Amino acid sequence: MRPIADVASDLGISASDIEPYGRDKAKIPLDSFPSGDANGGPGKLIVITAITPTPAGEGKSTVAVGLVQGLAKIGKRPALTIRQPSLGPVFGQKGGGTGGGRATVQPAEDINLHLTGDFHAMMSAHNLLAAMTDNVVFRHQIDGFEPDGITWRRVTDAEDRALRNATVGLNGDGPMRQTGYDISAASEIMAILALADGYEDLRARLGKIVVGWTRDRTPVSAEQIGAVGSMMALLRDAIKPNLCQTLEGQPALVHMGPFGNIAHGCSSILADRLAVASADYVVTEAGFGADLGFEKFMDIKVRQGGPRPDAAVVVCTVRGLKYHGGVELKDLSAPDADAVKTGTDNLRNALRITSMFGLNAVVAINRFPEDTPEELKAVAAAALDAGADAVAEANGFAEGGDGMTDLAAAVVEVADRGSDVSLLYDDDDSTIDKVETMADRLYGADRVLWGRMTRTTARRFEANGWKFPICMAKTHLSVSADSRLRNVPTGHVLPIQELRISAGARQIVTLAGDIMTLPGLPPRPNAFDIDLDDDGQIIGVLGT
């Protein structure tokens, strides 16, 4: 790996302006960011999205990393911005989030575990707020604020199903109430860190966090609890983007990690701003498929001040399209061009969504050894017929940047033309209208099935001045809210069971169905294989 000071110099940042964590990673202080015109104008931003994910995996992160390496191979000055992996999936089933094969971000083991401690700082701040909220209620310091009015749950980074529901305050140790834990990536503070544009904005957003309600339905904020100053102290360094590098030495900013199905699924606005001020082409990744992470990238991140993208890349795999075409997991290696053609409806839908937001798109076919020429031809034909500006194969896993030059060249041509970005709904639309629009235009649902009191809750939120974008919490495995429905299902409903306010993150979280906010470990978790070898090296982290 290159010395991290050399990587920083590629972004126009001197060694004296970074905060090294060892020799291979560093924090970038906010006052070290280059000015917006330091690079002769902002770089082109390319957002990576994908077809609806399948259990087979599409390799979106691998394509994102490989594309940055490919851009460097064709003589461009690129940078990457991606999310920090959560320890839950690393030790659970999904594995790490640093790419794969010869298209990885390094130091991969560090990134997938503690990196520079951002997750720990965020969880400390979150759980401190929980403790201070309980203390305020225990000591009756806010009139009408009682145990059953507390809504702020605690978080953990372990996939611990035993903590989903809990009774706290037994034996008089604090206010007794029913509560539980969420996975740390679902924390509102994680979302706030990913959206804040500096310390002043971070302070303002933290203060607006709603921790509960009084008996007369008045919201109680973190500012009223008195927790904001201590949280700011804990988050002082977490707000600074982390500088790492690809396997081939290009700058990679790894910062913040909200999940794409239960949170807004994007790395930080600050990392994107730093990157577009410093590089010619910036590749960033949105969580899961076009109907989830990409939509949230546009309607939440861009809406709240993130740089506007110039192009999209839609990642697909032959085996993923076969799965959407009706093939079972055990049979995905067998050639089946007809199933691929059927499954391309899902690819067409992803391109429809990127076009809806005004982005020109390139389709990246993430190659696997068993893909046949007939299957690849079917994918390319369907993509071009659906309006893709270009199609290219992605061989980053096996070949690194050398296997990504065709894709890189296509992306440069499309990104240089720019895009006419538009968003799905207006800020002033009602919460109910926003959800109805998403159900119709994004998911193709016949109707929205509103749960008990959900519309009343939506109106109460608006009465408090919360006209925020929607963060739809739904399965990532289907365009619909039913994970069993593959391809592009029709005739389904969108069930809204609950609304939650994230006033600091300026989002309204709508839970579509029974959404699990704290996963449990699988029968054979990755944790069985992770270890420290005799040379002191971490081994067994899936995806590194």
What is the C-alpha to C-alpha distance for residues 14 and 7, in angstroms, rounded to an integer? Answer: 10
User: Which helix (H) or strand (E) covers residue 47, if one does?
Assistant: strand 44-50
Identify the residue whose tokens are 């009015």.
Answer: 149
Tokens, residue 276: 């577009």
Identify the residue whose tokens are 């506007």.
Answer: 308
Q: What is the pLDDT of residue 38?
A: 54
Helices (H) and strands (E) in the chain, counts: 18, 24
152: DSSP letter = -
The answer for 265, left when phi > 0, alpha when psi is -120 to 50, beta otherwise, is left
Residues 6+ apart with CB under 8 A from 366: 58, 59, 62, 63, 315, 316, 317, 394, 397
Q: Are strands 103-106 and 99-100 parallel, antiparallel or unpaired?
A: antiparallel
| Domains of the chain: residue spans and CATH | 4-117+238-417 (3.40.50.300), 118-234 (3.30.1510.10), 431-512 (3.10.410.10)
180 DSSP β-pair partners = none
Q: Helix, strand, or coil here: 259? A: coil
Q: What is the pLDDT of residue 40?
A: 59
54: DSSP letter = -
Query: Each residue's pLDDT tens digit in the chain (544 positions)?
Result: 999 999 999 999 999 999 999 999 999 999 999 876 555 568 999 999 999 999 878 899 999 999 999 999 999 999 999 999 999 889 998 888 899 999 999 999 999 999 999 999 999 999 999 999 999 999 999 999 999 999 999 999 999 999 999 999 998 888 889 999 999 999 999 999 999 999 999 999 999 999 999 999 999 999 999 999 999 999 999 999 999 999 999 999 999 999 888 899 999 999 999 999 999 999 999 989 999 999 999 999 999 999 999 999 999 999 999 999 999 999 999 999 999 999 999 999 999 999 999 999 999 999 999 999 999 999 999 999 999 999 999 999 999 999 999 999 999 999 999 999 999 999 999 999 999 999 999 999 999 999 999 999 999 999 999 999 999 999 999 999 999 999 999 999 999 999 999 999 999 999 998 888 899 999 999 999 999 999 999 999 976 5
What is the C-alpha to C-alpha distance for residues 132 and 151, in angstroms, rounded to an integer? Answer: 13
pTM, to two decimals: 0.95
Q: Give the CA distances from residue 202 to residues 2, 125, 205, 240, 401, in Å, rounded to whole numbers and listed in that order.
A: 33, 13, 5, 12, 37
Q: Are 258 and 118 in contact (CB under 8 A)?
A: no
Q: What is the Cα 62 distance to its own chain's centre?
A: 15
